[in-house]
Amino acid sequence: MTEELQEITLTVNGRRHVLAVQPRRLLVDVLRDDLGLPGTHIGCEHGVCGTCTVLLDDASVRACITLAVQADGRSVRTVEGLADGMRLHPLQEEFWDKQGLQCGYCTPGMLMRAVEILEQVPDPTPDQVREGIASNLCRCTGYQYIVEAVLAAAPRMRSENPWDPTVPTEAKA
Amino acid sequence: MKPPPFRYSSPTTVADAVALLAEHAADDARVLAGGQSLVPLMNFRLAQPGHVIDLRRVAGLDTIRLAGGELVIGAMVRQATAERSPEVALAAPLLAEALGHVAHPPIRNSGTVVGSIAHADPAAELPAVALAMDAELTAVGPGGERRITAADFFQGPFTTALGADEILTEVRFRSFPGGHAFVEFSRTHGNFAVVAVAVLVALADGRITRSAIAASGLGGTPLRLTAAEQAWEGSTAGSAAIDAAVDAGTAGLDPAGDLHAGSATRIDIARSCLREALERATERALDRR
Ligand SMILES: Cc1cc2nc3c(=O)[nH]c(=O)nc-3n(C[C@H](O)[C@H](O)[C@H](O)COP(=O)(O)OP(=O)(O)OC[C@H]3O[C@@H](n4cnc5c(N)ncnc54)[C@H](O)[C@@H]3O)c2cc1C
Ligand code: FES
Ligand code: FES
């Protein structure tokens, strides 16, 4: 079959891209292969594990069961967008500090899901975090250190004025 | 794996979507809503549509509204949106409660209420809610619009009364004043139900006047447990009525076993889910007055 290419516009981590893609291309593959953003991982490829989780218009989705054409005209946030230059995002620092990762395979998805949880519930209880990250699988940490990292990041995200791609770096200093 | 090649359209009106579906019928054209069932099936190549018609840009499908005594949910309303909607909480708290059991938030952010009903997975939660609430589905095809009741809609596992040339534009839930409860048992949090039970009950002077009871996981389609409804209606609300309904509702069931649970285990699980749901719905009906 001759698949016509579809022109799509994705705003990824604040940067606008116009691309021509086959309709069959998955968002995760377009992010990794076409845009050179391999931070978003691929695991199960059927929506179960969560390592491919990105934020689409600020809501978490599985990039492995989202067609790139479904994201046309929308904004995508990936793990690459979390750090501000050399300054890690509070969640990244707390994952590091509390050992919220071991092999790191689940981490990009876990971080993006944690961003959504804290944007929706800025001051969560441990149970809310536990319930919230139940959407993402981790085979290494036993989850406890991830929960601790998210809880430690919460007050920092409330007070530190989280990274915002629309604010130029100078304006934040 | 990755989806096989297909052509893609993104129409902006229902009429165009229906026309595209007819035009590409020979290519096994399929409608795409949230993609949370269709795209995994395509990744596994269990579904290989030659043409995919995305409903995302079709005008008017993304609203939730109250019309008369009915809650009307458009075909592109995401499960997460419905879960947070005040209209849903007021008019269909049973649906709101069931939505919390459908997969995990990242899936619900994309998946639609109507898509779950259209998909008709026998282990899915929302088909049982649709059946308990006497929901109606609005289908549009080349011959115009028609309404399909939930009772007629589900015909077998992943099989519905929707024609291959039709698109669902909305689902209409009739509100049920009274108590509600959705109780499920699943292998892991966020998974499909092994068994799920949806209950609605109305009381007057301590007696059960009306009820609606449906379950998933006990057959190829969601089942309306009419024997349970009849067994407790007219009785005084309480444990004797609940015992009668549990016995009647599970008598004669013969669900197929699978690797999650054998037939007898499924009936045991159904009994305990049903009991818990009847108790909780009764308590809520009492609290409401
Ligand atoms: C990891 C994972 C876990 C899940 N867990 C659960 C769970 O616990 N419980 C549960 O119920 N579901 C679960 N799901 C499925 C999820 O709820 C889906 O969102 C839902 O089944 C389908 O909705 P959708 O909008 O994504 O539809 P799609 O995937 O886009 O479509 C599904 C099917 O319905 C058809 N269709 C959709 N909309 C229409 C329409 N308007 N008119 C005509 N045909 C239409 C499509 O052609 C397709 O055949 C899970 C999914 C994943 C990936
Ligand atoms: S790779 Fe997407 S959920 Fe596993
Ligand atoms: S750190 Fe290895 S899977 Fe989570």
Summarize pLDDT for A102-137 with one digit per residue, the tens: 999 999 999 999 999 999 999 999 999 999 999 999
Interchain contact, B109 vs A61, CB within 8 Å: yes
The average pLDDT across B69-74 equals: 96
Average pLDDT of chain B, as a whole number: 96
What are the DSSP E strand ranges found in A13-118?
Answer: 15-21, 53-56, 59-62, 75-77
ipTM score of the complex? 0.94
CB contact under 8 A, B43 and A66: no
The model scores a pTM over 0.90? yes
How far is residue B233's CA from residue B237's CA, in Å, rounded to a whole number? 9
Mean pLDDT value across residues B111-129:
97
**Continuous segment of H or E residues that includes residue B201:** strand B195-204
Determine the distance separating the centroid of ligand 3 and the alpha carbon of A40, expressed in angstroms. 14
Q: Which architecture does CATH list for A6-81?
A: Roll (3.10)
Query: What average pLDDT does this structure show over B83-112?
Result: 97
CB A44 within 8 A of CB A58: no
User: Residue B159 above 70 pLDDT?
Assistant: yes
B163 touching A (Cβ < 8 Å): no
Measure CA B221 to chain center: 10
Confidence of residue B261 (pLDDT cuts 50, 70, 90): confident
Q: Answer yes or no: is the C-beta of A95 below 6 A from any ligand 3 atom.
A: no
Which among A1, A29, A65 has CB closest to B39? A65
Judge whether residue B176 has pLDDT over 90: yes
Q: Is the pLDDT of residue A1 over 90?
A: no
Question: In this complex, which of B43, B105, B190 lies closest to A65 when CB atoms are compared?
Answer: B43
Indicate if the pLDDT at residue A171 is higher than 50.
no
Q: Compute the distance from residue B166 Cα to the ligand 1 centre, in Å.
A: 17
CATH class of A90-158: mainly alpha
Nearest ligand 2 atom to the CA of A64 is: 2
CA–centroid distance, A73 to ligand 1, in Å, is 23
| Interchain contact, B109 vs A65, CB within 8 Å | no
Task: Specify the 3-state DSSP secondary structure of B220.
Answer: coil
DSSP string, B154-171: EEETTEES--TT-EEEEE
Of A46, A101, A108, the C-alpha closest to A77 is A108
Specify the length of chain B in residues.
289
Closest-CA distance of chain A to residue B221, Å: 24
Domain boundaries, chain A: 6-81, 90-158
The closest residue, in CA terms, to atom 3 on ligand 3 is A138
What structural domains does chain B harbor? 7-54 (3.30.43.10), 64-174 (3.30.465.10), 179-287 (3.30.390.50)
Residue with more model confidence, A166 or B178? B178
pLDDT in tens, A37-75: 999 999 999 999 999 999 999 999 999 999 999 999 999
A135: CB partners within 8 A, 6+ apart: A50, A53, A60, A113, B104, B105, B106, B107, B190
B62 token code pair:
């993304």
The whole-angstrom separation of Cα A105 and Cα A97 is 17
Per-residue pLDDT, averaged over A70-95, amounts to: 97
Distance between CA A139 and CA B65 in Å, rounded?
43
**What band does B190 get if pLDDT is binned at 50, 70 and 90?**
confident
Ligand 2 center to B241 CA (angstroms): 46
State the Cα–Cα distance between residues B129 and B79, nearest whole angstrom.
14
Q: From the CA atom positions of chain A, what is the Rg in Å?
A: 16
Q: For residue B169, which of B86, B81, B62 has the smallest C-alpha distance?
A: B62
Cα–Cα distance measured from residue B214 to residue B227, given in angstroms and rounded to the nearest whole number:
11
Q: Of A81, A52, A116, whose CA–CA distance to B105 is shortest?
A: A116
Beta carbons of A134 and B104 less than 8 angstroms apart? yes
Q: Which helix (H) or strand (E) holds B214?
A: strand B207-216
Rounded distance between C-alpha atoms, residue B61 and residue B74, angstroms: 5
Q: Does B1 touch chain A (CB under 8 A)?
A: yes
CA angle B138, B142, B148 (to 5 degrees): 25
Report residue B13 as tokens: 């009106």
* Nearby residues of B262 by Cβ (< 8 Å), 6 or more positions away: none
- Cβ <8 Å between A69 and B80: no
Interface test with B, best of A55, A67, A129 (most B CBs within 10 A): A67
User: What average pLDDT does this structure show over B151-161?
Assistant: 98
Beta strands (DSSP E) in B24-142 are 29-32, 51-54, 64-67, 70-74, 136-141
Contacts of A135 in chain B (CB under 8 A): 104-107, 190
Read off the pLDDT band of A173 (50, 70, 90): very low
Mutation choice for B interface testing from A65, A111, A118, A119 by most B CBs within 10 A = A65
The DSSP bridge partners found for residue B195 are B185
State the smallest CA–CA distance between residue B180 and chain A in angstroms: 24
Residue B161: Cβ-neighbour burial (10 angstroms; 0-12, 13-18, 19+):
middle
